[in-house]
């Protein structure tokens, strides 16, 4: 495909003055006094959430034609492409699931040929197990195509890698909505700092979207923004796609059911990932042998195994995966697992979005039961929120209705976002 690539560039930002050192080829033009091999920041700086540490230009799509070609090759709709795209990896300060200072990374894409204020989109990606299964680490269909879609349509777009993925340390706390929300918000803050040096500013109203795991992350971010978590950014609109919003009440029962509507292979994957990931934050078990017949299952989710490696190593059925105690724990959650699920399942409960909201789903989804979306919509409607549920129809991609919903949901969401008038979507 005709995609132009620009020379590698890297910005390292000082925490005090937020000054940049720009390295292009063998030369360097310094706007600050810190090199890319500078000393570690002070402990005070480590507590500064959203502080930008570095920005690296990953690739450039020089024109709308190049953006459209990339989207077409990945199976995405190129119809909204109006610009070329610059794609950066931002590294920034945030907090981990325990509230301790850490760092994270994410993809930031901006439309080329623009100046001034840009409308702001936050896209949260779906489930991955390897730390490079993240938007800033791989130029890959489901990791980068949504960001390219939004940026080529004229939006500045952040896509968090999440904690423990990308360049961030530690292991990924999968489906931990609070830490997904903080990582997303702090990436917005870092992007706002960075755009000050690109001739742009970010619009205050954040259009929050995401797919699968990222759908819950988008709702978590939206709730935080509406609650005033940031003094600048606020919630503009919500457009999550195919999420497991009722993870404990709908998704886990569906994957455990003998006559499950979900693909059994994915039931094994998600059952294993649930126990391992929730244990990292909420102390679900003392030893993996309590819940897994083979305790080595835990090692498959260490961030260093690829998805194919993980899937091929897992047993084929839930009975082969789980001990009786492990299955009972998923069936009737208690202790740390119950506590974690209360947080994960809160994304649609006990709050009323004041911004426009559409929930996108696809009947026949083999990974996320559509009862998640129905239950989420009912919870919002109970609070008096006007929420639209959009059935995307038969949208298979690579023989997957779930993946297809990401492709079609992105196409629908970018057009909806484009139709919303800035300043009227609070």
| Percent above pLDDT 70 for the chain | 88
Please state the pTM of the whole predicted model.
0.88
Q: Residues near 310 by Cβ (< 8 Å), separated by ≥ 6?
A: 129, 269, 300, 301
Q: How confident is the model at residue 396 (pLDDT cuts 50, 70, 90)?
A: confident
- For the four alpha carbons of 249, 252, 253 and 254, in that order, the dihedral sign comes to positive
* Maximum Cα–Cα distance across the chain: 63
Q: Are strands 200-211 and 234-241 parallel, antiparallel or unpaired?
A: parallel
Spatial separation of the C-alpha atoms in residues 213 and 97, rounded to whole Å: 16
Predicted pLDDT at 47? 56
267: which residues sit within 8 A by CB, 6+ positions away?
Answer: 255, 256, 260, 318
Average pLDDT for 115-131: 96
Whole-angstrom distance, CA of residue 211 vs CA of residue 216: 8
295 to 11, 247, 311, 371: CA distances (angstroms): 43, 24, 16, 32
CA-based nearest residue to 417, from 112, 74, 121? 121
- The matching CATH number, chosen from 3.40.50.1480, 3.30.479.10, 3.40.50.300, 3.40.50.1820, for 9-245+350-419 is 3.40.50.1820
Gap between the Cα atoms of 334 and 378, Å rounded: 25
Q: What is the average pLDDT score of the chain?
A: 89
Query: Is 272 in contact with 300 (CB distance < 8 Å)?
Result: yes
Instruction: Report the relative pairing of strands 20-24 and 52-61 from DSSP bridges.
Output: unpaired
Burial of 345 by CB count in 10 Å (0-12 exposed, 13-18 middle, 19+ buried)? Answer: buried
Classify domain 247-345 at the CATH topology level: 434 Repressor (Amino-terminal Domain) (1.10.260)
The answer to whether 14 and 35 are in contact (CB under 8 A) is no
Residue 15, pLDDT score:
30
Q: Angle, to 10 degrees, between the axis of helix 324-331 and the axis of helix 264-282?
A: 80
Supply φ then ψ for residue 141, to 5 degrees: -45, -65
C-alpha span between 66 and 84 (Å, rounded): 7
Distance of CA 200 to the CA centre of its chain: 23
Average pLDDT in the 32-56 region?
Answer: 58
Judged against a pLDDT cut of 70, whether residue 209 lies above it is answered with yes
Pairing label, strands 101-111, 85-95? antiparallel
The token duo for 43 is 């402990």
**Would you say 177 and 213 are in contact if contact means Cβ atoms under 8 Å apart?**
no
Residue 48 burial (CB count, 10 A): 17
Contact between 165 and 277 (Cβ < 8 Å): no
Q: What is the mean pLDDT of residues 174-200?
A: 96
Hey, where are the domains in the chain?
9-245+350-419, 247-345
* CA 397/CA 368 separation, integer angstroms: 15
Q: What digits encode the pLDDT tens for the residues 6-26? A: 333 344 333 322 222 222 222
Structure tokens at 93: 């300060």
Please write the tens of the pLDDT for every residue from 335-388: 999 999 999 999 999 999 999 999 999 999 999 999 999 999 999 999 999 999
The pLDDT of 270-285, averaged and rounded, is: 97
Residue length of the chain: 426
For tokens 């492709």, the residue is 407
Give the N- to C-terminal CA distance of the chain in Å, as an integer: 40
Q: Residue 19's CB: how many other CB atoms inside 10 A?
A: 16
Q: pLDDT band at residue 260, thresholds of 50, 70 and 90?
A: confident
């Amino acid at each position: 495909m005709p995609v132009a690539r620009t020379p590698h560039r890297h910005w390292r930002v000082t925490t005090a003055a937020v000054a940049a050192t720009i390295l292009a080829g063998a030369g360097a033009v310094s706007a600050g006094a810190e090199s890319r091999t500078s000393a570690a920041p002070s402990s005070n700086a480590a507590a500064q959430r959203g502080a930008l540490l570095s920005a690296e230009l990953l690739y450039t799509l020089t024109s709308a034609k190049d953006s459209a070609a990339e989207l077409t090759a990945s199976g995405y709709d190129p119809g909204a492409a109006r610009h070329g795209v610059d794609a950066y990896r931002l590294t920034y300060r945030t907090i981990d699931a325990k509230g301790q200072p850490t760092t994270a990374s994410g993809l930031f894409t901006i439309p080329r040929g623009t100046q001034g204020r840009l409308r702001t989109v936050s896209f949260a990606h779906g489930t991955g197990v390897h730390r490079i299964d993240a938007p800033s680490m791989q130029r890959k269909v489901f990791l980068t195509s949504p960001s390219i879609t939004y940026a080529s349509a004229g939006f500045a777009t952040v896509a968090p890698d999440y904690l423990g993925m990308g360049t961030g340390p530690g292991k990924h706390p999968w489906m931990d909505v609070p830490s997904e929300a903080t990582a997303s918000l702090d990436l917005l803050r870092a992007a706002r700092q960075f755009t000050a040096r690109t001739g742009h500013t970010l619009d205050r109203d954040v259009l929050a979207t995401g797919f699968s795991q990222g759908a819950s992350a988008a709702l978590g971010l939206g709730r935080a923004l509406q609650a005033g978590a940031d003094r600048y950014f606020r919630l503009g609109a919500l457009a999550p796609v195919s999420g497991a919003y009722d993870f404990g009440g709908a998704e886990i029962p569906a994957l455990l059911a003998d006559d499950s509507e979900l693909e059994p292979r994915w039931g094994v994957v998600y059952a294993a990932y649930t126990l391992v990931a929730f244990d990292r934050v909420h102390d679900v078990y003392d030893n993996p042998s309590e819940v897994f017949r083979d305790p080595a299952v835990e090692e498959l989710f260490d961030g260093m195994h690829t998805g194919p490696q993980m899937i091929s190593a897992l047993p084929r059925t839930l009975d082969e995966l789980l001990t009786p105690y492990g299955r009972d724990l998923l069936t009737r959650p208690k202790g740390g697992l119950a506590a974690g699920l209360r947080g994960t399942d809160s994304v649609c409960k006990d709050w009323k979005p004041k911004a426009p909201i559409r929930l996108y789903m696809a009947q026949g989804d083999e990974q996320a039961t559509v009862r998640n979306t129905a239950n989420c919509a009912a919870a919002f409607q109970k609070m008096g929120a006007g929420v639209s549920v959009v059935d995307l129809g038969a949208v298979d991609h690579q023989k997957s209705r779930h993946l297809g919903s990401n492709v079609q949901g992105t196409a629908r969401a970018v057009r909806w976002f484009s139709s919303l008038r800035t300043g009227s979507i609070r």
